[in-house]
Amino acid sequence: MAMRHLFSDAYQPQQIAQRVAEMGVAKARADSLTLLVLAVLAGAFISLGALLFTVVVTGSELGIGITRLLGGLGFCLGLVLVVIGGAELFTGNNLLAMAWASRLITSRELLRNWLLVYLGNVIGCLGTVLLVLWADSATLAGGAVGETALGIARSKTELTLGAAFARGILCNVLVCLAMWLAMGGHSLTDRLLAILFPITAFVSLGFEHSIANWFFLPYGLALDGQGSLSLAAAARNLAVVTAGNIVGGTLLVAGVYWLAYLRRPPAS
């Protein structure tokens, strides 16, 4: 009986679609300063999750699967803070495409939100990089954390453009599904569980998140005393992964659910 109540308590997919569209209208029309401040917070939150991932995987001898699984659980900190704490994350806001497709918001409102939120996310990430450098977190474990951070950044700059784009698509499918599932819950526990599995999966599978990369890559560049990282390669990664994230979030999540549930106006 309790189990049946647990599942019946969640919003149904069609209800989630309506809630996401309504949320999109509110986000698209929020004032600029609010959006920017909450976006800076989201960039900082994701950066803290990225740093926790870096520490968790450092020195692990558990094998790639278990190590990345644990690292992915650590990275979940970022989206938990975004969703529960209240912040504006560019990748999650790709779901605003549902409100746009339903003609509830204009293209200008959509792009304004995305540009302001992306800018705020970048500011939050770069600010966190500066604080982490000041905290000298790279010296943890005798400098092993810094070596891990450098290795993460190097692996990202070495991706081909095709691989980075595809990993960006796959990443934001899972991120937007996490946001979608979180919109289906009523309680704090519901939202935490909704976030946990998709986010752990995208990190464990090595997919690429543009906002997290605004922490990983600048942090790696700052730690690179040998000049082994290319600034141009880092910029290419950020541009291509951002494009992949947009495709994954808008077409493969927002677009598919809009087609399934919102393509026809509700009956009067």
Whichever domain contains 98, its CATH number is 1.20.1080.10
In a domain, 219, yes or no: yes
Q: Is residue 21 in some structural domain?
A: yes
Q: How many CB atoms lie within 10 A of CB 28?
A: 22
pLDDT reading at 9 higher than 80: no
Mean of pLDDT values over 181-199 = 91
User: What is the pLDDT, as a whole number, of residue 225?
Assistant: 82
C-alpha dist (Å) from residue 78 to 30, 41, 74: 23, 10, 8
Instruction: Tell me the whole-structure pTM to 2 decimals.
Output: 0.93
pLDDT value of position 228: 85
**In degrees rounded to 5, what are phi and psi of residue 90?**
-55, -45
pLDDT at 7 over 70: no
pLDDT confidence of residue 241:
98
Are the beta carbons of 225 and 234 closer than 8 angstroms?
no
Residue 5 falls within a domain, yes or no? Answer: no
Measured CA to CA in angstroms, residue 221 lies from 126, 146, 153 at distances of 12, 11, 8
pLDDT on residue 11:
85
How would residue 265 be classed by pLDDT, with cut points 50, 70 and 90? low
Give per-residue pLDDT as tens, 99-111.
Answer: 999 999 999 999 9
What's the pLDDT at 48?
98
- Residues comprising the chain, all counted: 268
Higher pLDDT, 17 or 266: 17
Residue 266 is predicted with a pLDDT of 54
Domain range spanning residue 83? 12-261
Type and span of the H or E element at 81: helix 64-85
Task: Indicate if the pLDDT at residue 123 is higher than 90.
Answer: yes
pLDDT of residue 249: 97
Residue 53 counted as domain residue: yes
In a domain, 266, yes or no: no
Chain mean position to CA 139: 27
Over residues 178-184, mean pLDDT:
94
Per-residue pLDDT band at 1 (split at 50, 70, 90): very low
- Residue 87 is assigned to a structural domain of this protein: yes
pLDDT reported for residue 227: 83
199 vs 21, 34, 47, 123, 208, CA distance in Å? 22, 26, 14, 23, 11
Does a structural domain hold residue 6?
no
Amino acid identity for residue 255 in this structure: G
If one compares 265 and 122, the residue with the highest pLDDT of the two is 122
Q: Taking residues 192-202, report their average pLDDT.
A: 94
Q: Which tens digits make up the pLDDT trace of 152-180?
A: 999 999 999 999 999 999 999 999 999 99
- CB-based contacts of 136: which residues, under 8 Å, 6+ apart? none
| pLDDT over 80 (residue 201) | yes
End-to-end CA distance of the chain: 35
Query: Does a structural domain hold residue 108?
Result: yes
Query: How does pLDDT run across 139-148, given as a tens digit for each residue?
Result: 999 999 999 9
In the block, which residue shows the tokens 């919109």?
183
Residue 10: its pLDDT value, please?
78
Q: How many domains does the chain have?
A: 1
Contact 25, 103 (CB under 8 A): no
Residue 2 has pLDDT above 50, yes or no: no
What pLDDT, on a 0 to 100 scale, did the predictor assign at position 264?
77
Average per-residue pLDDT for the chain: 93
